[in-house]
Amino acid sequence: MNETETKIKALRQELEKHNYNYYVLSAPTIPDYEYDERLRELQAMEDAHPEYADPHSPTRRIGSDLSKDFEQITHAYPMLSLGNTYSEDEIREFYNRTMRLLNEPFEIVAELKYDGTSISLIYDQGRLTHAVTRGDGTRGDDVTANVKTIRSIPLKLIGDHHPDTFEIRGEILLPWAEFDRLNKEREEQEEPLFANPRNAASGTLKQQNPAIVASRKLDAYFYYLLGENLPAATHYDNLQTARTWGFKIPDVIRKCNTLEEIFDYLAHWDAERKNLPVATDGVVLKVNDLRQQRNLGFTAKSPRWAIAYKFQAERAATRLNSVSFQVGRTGAVTPVANLEPVLLSGTTVKRASLHNADIIEGLDLHIGDYVYVEKGGEIIPKIVGVDTNARSTMQTGEKVRFLPDCPECGASLIRPAGEATHYCPNESGCPPQIKGRIEHFVSRRAMDIRIGPETVEDLYNAGYVQNAADLYTLTFPDLLRLERRAEKSAQNLLDSLEESKSIPFERVLFALGIRYVGETVAKRLASAFLNIEQLREATFESLMQVNEIGERIAQSVLNYFADEGNLSILGRLQASGLQMAVGEAAQSSRSDKLQGRSFVISGIFAHHSRDVYKALIEQHGGKCTGSVSGKTDYILAGDSMGASKLEKATKLGVTIINENEFLNMLNE
């Protein structure tokens, strides 16, 4: 190694050490100007000697001006959300349930729930290789170039004692001070203000220009280590070890052995969190032992070994100036309160949802009232009360009443029996519904077509698009005639439309926007009916046989296919080449071995998790339910099966099988 290469490497090591001291330990050892001088020196040497380039050099953190589209990466371990609670009683239930399921001593790790955007970092041989957003939990965006600009994230780990490959998860955050600075700057430039630090962090991370990301001084805290050959058998010890590798692990993490210790932690941080430099909205509780975590397993959406406790929302009083009404893609009409701006949980609140007519009536709102505003989960503002005593000292306006007609198209609103929401029935002629359905259709989790709300608005106003099928008739000249549409962006949209024709059937179903049919329900319907023709011919009874499909969803599906306009759009989408059937590979793995049989899964298993067994049952035609009844055929029982389920199964004569017997059923 010659003198130049030796000096470059020495400078890199020194700068990374200073980064760690400043951004992780918050204990800088040199002034900022000295750091900047060394960084400039390194940059100059690298420019003069490109043969010694290193993608993990500290100089790469400043970001380049190159723009690129984000690629998507599938998570090795799904990034599930946590079950949330605002109740100490539910914390007690979680603790007691964990005690009952494990039937052995356990520890709970308590840590603050930071309010940013989730990130997964992959390290190979001690170097950062990928940074991936949560996305839909299964796959996320590759934002590695942007994450490399965050100085509290190590590009190369300290020391050598770490797994060859591992994943660490955490939260990308925008500190309060930086949030305030950015909003002041945006206000001076007459740009829209960021609503809160979480949205600002998320939006910054999706910037196409890493130099902009670098300028916003994001931070990152880490809370979970995954992979093979982890250094310890407990979550707490793994985090402490990760700290020695250079990661910013919060020092507020505590091990708790009793409920009292957990509640003391909650009470302390409910008050003290207001003094932290970043936004928090609760506490996360996790079973410490990794073996016990595996035994507890997962539900469909979240781990059984963890729960998030949300702090009670902060409240403020302000004046109600007016009420406006918004129409969504399903025709739902939502009243919105327009407020005198008020500072709440670190952000300025100007609007709050009033939800529905019953809420308005219950609050007895008048224009000019002073109202109490809270932020649910510290993000979404809502009005929770009225200062009626203030009416005697001030003049208020007329009583707020729900509109009888649609504010957009004038159609008479309807309120279905048993529902709190009013709807505009003019689906084919109400502009917000038309545009909203198209925006839903093109969204990331649906057809993933690269088109924003502004372009949808332009296409609708120009008369080119009235429904989703019209998108596939767009031409290059059509798009060029739109204002602000350049040739490259026009071609990108056409390419994206072509790519969307390979989107699988279950996402096409979700994209159609059938009322009450979300992502999970769309997967259930696709799995049960395999193609659009079978689903169109489904009866109310056959729909009700599908797991998680109730009367309301079944009727909504029938109503959708009874509408001639919907059938016309479907026919055009199918003619355009969209996937209207489950792929052959997915169908080949299915069977009817368990057709018509109902299962309840209970206990802890050795071979597979509950989620795997649930998927196997459904894959082979069976149905999973949560409770034992006279219609239950089998209980798939593991260790520590619930006593109440065992008692009820014995009373009803339900057959109880273990996992080996179940797997033999599939192999017969």
Just list the catalytic residues.
113
Contacts 24+ apart (CB under 8 A), 554-559: 556/514, 556/515, 556/516, 556/517, 557/514, 557/517, 557/525, 559/515
Count of C-beta atoms within a 10 Å radius of residue 504:
14
3-state secondary structure of 496: helix
At position 419, the amino acid (one-letter code) is E
Rg for the chain (alpha carbons), in Å? 28
Residue 636, H or E segment:
strand 634-637
Strands 623-625 and 280-287: unpaired
Contacts 24+ apart (CB under 8 A), 236-245: 236/107, 236/109, 236/288, 238/290, 242/168, 244/158, 244/159, 245/154, 245/157, 245/158, 245/159, 245/162
Strands 84-85 and 306-310: parallel
Q: Is 389 exposed, middle or buried (0-12, 13-18, 19+ CB in 10 A)?
A: exposed
Q: Is 618 exposed, middle or buried (0-12, 13-18, 19+ CB in 10 A)?
A: buried
- 3-class DSSP string for 417-454: CCCCCEECCCCCCCHHHHHHHHHHHHCCCCCCCCCCHH
At position 595, the amino acid (one-letter code) is Q
Sign of CA dihedral 470, 476, 477, 482: positive
How does DSSP assign 355-395, residue by residue? -SHHHHHHHT-BTT-EEEEEEETTTEEEEEEE-GGGGGTS-
Q: Which two tokens stand for residue 588?
A: 């080949």
How does DSSP assign 66-88, residue by residue? ---PPPEEE-SS--PPPPEE--H
How does DSSP assign 308-356, residue by residue? EEEPPPPEEEEEEEEEEEEE-TTSEEEEEEEEEEEEETTEEEEEEE--S
Given a contact cutoff of 8 angstroms between Cβ atoms, the answer to whether 248 and 23 are in contact is yes
What span, in angstroms and rounded, lies between the C-alpha atoms of 200 and 116?
9
Given a contact cutoff of 8 angstroms between Cβ atoms, the answer to whether 589 and 616 are in contact is no
What span, in angstroms and rounded, lies between the C-alpha atoms of 162 and 229?
9
3-state secondary structure of 452: coil
Q: Which two tokens stand for residue 619?
A: 């894959």
Strands 280-287 and 306-310: antiparallel
3-state secondary structure of 12: helix
The neighbouring-strand residues paired with 122 are 130, 167
Q: Which DSSP state fits 20?
A: I
What span, in angstroms and rounded, lies between the C-alpha atoms of 543 and 551?
9
What span, in angstroms and rounded, lies between the C-alpha atoms of 16 and 34?
14
Q: Which of 84, 79, 94 is nearest to 135 (CA)?
A: 79
Looking only at Cα atoms, what is the longest distance across the chain?
Answer: 84
